[in-house]
Amino acid sequence: MTKVDFLVVGSGIAGLSYALKLCEFYKNKNYHPKICLITKDEPFESNTRYAQGGIAAVIDAKDSYEKHIQDTLIAGSHINNEEVVKLVVENGPERIRELINWGAQFDKSDDGDYKLAKEGGHSDHRILHFKDVTGQEIQRALLDAIKKYDNVEILQDYFAIDLITQHHLGEDVTKYRKDTQCYGVYALNKTSGEVENILSKVTLLATGGIGQVYKTTTNPSVATGDGIAMTYRAKGHVRQMEFVQFHPTALYQRGHEGNAFLITEAMRGAGAILRNSKGEDFVKKYDERGSLAPRDIVARAIDSEMKKEGKEHVWLDASVIDESELKDHFPSIYSHCKNIGIDITKDYIPVAPASHYLCGGIVVNTKAETSIKNLLACGEATCTGLHGANRLASNSLLEAAVYAHEAFETAVRNIASTEWMDNIPEWNKDGTTVPEELVLINQSRSDLQRVMSNYVGIVRSNERLKRAFQRTGLIYAETEDLYKKTVISQPLCELRNMITICYLVISGAKERHENIGLHYSIDYENQ
């Protein structure tokens, strides 16, 4: 059993920013709390690392908070929480300055000003970026900064299985209970194979997204919705899971499934144009903003065009961008495409939508508090109300940074009145055996991904959702039977989490009887 003051689950911008703030706050104080950050892979592997485009903020005098707020509300179909939108936009510049102070670099012009890009749905140039690897640069800077502190321990290859609550003390915990508390997590030490109790006074979930529930995604393999699923099992509140954003332009490679290489929206912001097989600038048929319309509109336009033409992709024409700008601003995309025989300075890039970002998740207030006491959450795992029905490009890293700060302030405020719960039972593994066929887990995961991609994608229908619900139910029953008699493993736990996520996405989609933002059903086209 391990006892820590602050437990962080996840090593992206949200978790690392929060942990860094704690380290700095207590640096010159008499009390030096123990901070533990666990990550199921190595610390550099997170959704943050794969964010190419950048981070949106109002730092240009010609821009304004009001314009950024309105752009966010318009993209989110005005079902955003306006208080939250205001909070994130107005606090964004200060959080950017902190990232810079921690060592994150963003591209500058020769005169020393930051180069600001423009992406879909934005009315001004306000995207700070570092080439086309912004997330990777932020992740590097945060990890370098946190290594300077000796009171934070990073445990890699630790998989958080479940939140510890009164349920584990034999009490009845339901979603209606008002005093549910989090005492820490049960975590699988992947090296030893043992499940450990990690008890904490305050726990932060910063576990990222759900991309892996679809067969093609821009997310890394770790994005299996673990934090959301754990919170749901602990009877915490979750909402708006139907709003899954598909990035319009992932690199298409025939026969390739799984992790797709992202072609950042910043490329369209720089002038690249989406074209169909006839070479037409087809998005203008769907929206006057063309290739720079919000992502939900562009993704549906591509989906529609692909179905009309019977094609598996459309084309992105970046040849209209100056060659030197292409190579300077998008070096990783240029290099990646070059390696597979595509010269983006003259060749069209084959692209298709891929699962990218979740706008729903764990419900939190403006202080990053969940419905479970002493459990905080921030980043993509949460539903803050910022994004509404559709996320505005490059608002996600901004949201994570702002809410990490709110979580930090809440944690520091609450820590003095919180104690560890001592009588937590050890993980019960009685009656389990090592599985003989891991192929069963892998097959169920693949089946689940195909169900979601085929029936709960960009365009949905009541019949598709009904089929998805039924087939997910069969996979759930098989997996629970396997779980009861099998030794705990990361693949099995991830599969259980993914099934929970699929259930929540499908249920949310079934309950929303309107077309809005990222949820579009052919049954409500004429309403």
**Positions marked active-site:** 295
Q: Write the DSSP assignment of 124-177 as a string of letters.
A: S--EE-STT-HHHHHHHHHHHHHTT-SSEEEEESEEEEEEE-GGGGT----TT-
Rg (CA), the chain: 22
Distances from the Cα of 135 to the Cα of 53, 55, 107, 249, 408, angstroms: 8, 9, 13, 18, 21
CA distance 424 to 195: 13
CA distance 374 to 384: 17
CA distance 163 to 160: 8
What is the SS3 assignment for 441?
A: helix
Residue written as tokens 């100056």? 322
Q: Give CA angle at 375 (175, 392), nearest 5°.
A: 90
CA distance 13 to 41: 15
Distances from the Cα of 186 to the Cα of 2, 7, 165, 247, 461, angstroms: 10, 12, 11, 34, 39
Sort residue 258 into left (φ over 0), alpha (ψ -120 to 50) or beta: left
